[in-house]
Amino acid sequence: KRSIFLTVREGRSLCGMLHLVQMYPPLTDFLSSGLYRWAGDANTFDGDDYIEVVCSPSNPDGSIREAVLKSKSGKDIHDLAYYWPQYTPITQMLAHDIMLFTVSKCTGHAGTRIGWALVKDKEVAQKMSKFMEQSTIGVCKDAQLRAAKVLGAVTDGYEHQLATAAGGDANLLFHYARRKMAHRWCALRAAVAASGIFSLPNEVAGFCTFTKDTVTSNPAFAWLRCEKQEVEDLESFLRENKIITRSGTKFGADQKVVRISMVDTDEAFGIFVNRLAAIK
């Protein structure tokens, strides 16, 4: 059967490793299934029978993506791991057939390995449940309880603000996280300007219907390019400068670009921008 099919695993959406383009083929073909196989980039795919995975905002570059294939028998899976107000303006209510989410990027609890899906077709939802039952019986109960508590704390913050008409947003997770991300992007752009040999994607802005203001996006990853001609392998060049990144080659791009995590600890992020600014 000529199709791409990517399975939903225990308590996680298809985020993280699956964003590394180089990891798709081994993951999809690992068990040599007769039901599905890796069929490559959707942009070059020819056929009607497929599952297309759409990561939006995209990892690594934070851009908003839509399905490129259109077929009645094909299916789309929308990975919305990064569709939260701290990373991007929430410009619309999405209503795709299959939408995946995770606490990993929403609240930062990646290790808890809990995700959820919104699925329109009951039959598809039942198949997803059946797969999880077959492969694991059920997700870790400790993790489920912890994730429920974490998400409850986030919504409690917003409900409290509504109930008390409080003006501050100190306890509002998405507001806090957006300030944090905006601050980091500001620091990164200053470091890039200080160095002079790098470039970043242009800032993208939009009206966020969640926070009711116009904001720029602050992706969880920076897609950093080197403009210096003699640097051919940027990942190696940065490693020599004590900065660990992931090469663009791992995402189907060239080796003059790398992906940098914007969500490390304050301390590590501070060291990183200082080192980057000093590179000439």
List interacting residues with its own copies (CB under 8 A). 9-12, 16-17, 26-27, 30-35, 111-113, 131, 134-143, 146
Q: Are 280 and 194 in contact (CB under 8 A)?
A: no
- In the bound complex, what is the minimum distance in angstroms from residue 198's beta carbon to its own copies? 29
Nearer to its own copies, 8 or 90 (CB): 8
* 130 φ, ψ (degrees, to nearest 5): -60, -40
Nearer to its own copies, 56 or 112 (CB): 112
Nearest C-alpha neighbor of 85 from the set 162, 176, 187: 176
- In the bound complex, what is the minimum distance in angstroms from residue 141's beta carbon to its own copies? 3
The structure tokens listed for 270 are: 């501070």
Q: Are 219 and 262 in contact (CB under 8 A)?
A: yes
Nearer to its own copies, 16 or 201 (CB): 16
- In the bound complex, what is the minimum distance in angstroms from residue 32's beta carbon to its own copies? 4
> In Å, how far are 62, 196, 278 from 82, measured between CA atoms?
8, 29, 30
Nearer to its own copies, 137 or 162 (CB): 137
Nearer to its own copies, 17 or 68 (CB): 17
- In the bound complex, what is the minimum distance in angstroms from residue 60's beta carbon to its own copies? 17
- In the bound complex, what is the minimum distance in angstroms from residue 131's beta carbon to its own copies? 8
Nearer to its own copies, 2 or 120 (CB): 2
Q: What's the rounded Cα separation, in Å, for the pair 171 and 153?
A: 10
- In the bound complex, what is the minimum distance in angstroms from residue 80's beta carbon to its own copies? 18
H or E stretch including 277? helix 266-278
Q: What is the CA radius of gyration of the chain?
A: 20
Nearer to its own copies, 72 or 149 (CB): 149
Q: Are 59 and 82 in contact (CB under 8 A)?
A: yes
- In the bound complex, what is the minimum distance in angstroms from residue 103's beta carbon to its own copies? 11
* 222 φ, ψ (degrees, to nearest 5): -100, 135
Q: Are 53 and 77 in contact (CB under 8 A)?
A: yes
The β-bridge partners of 55 are 79
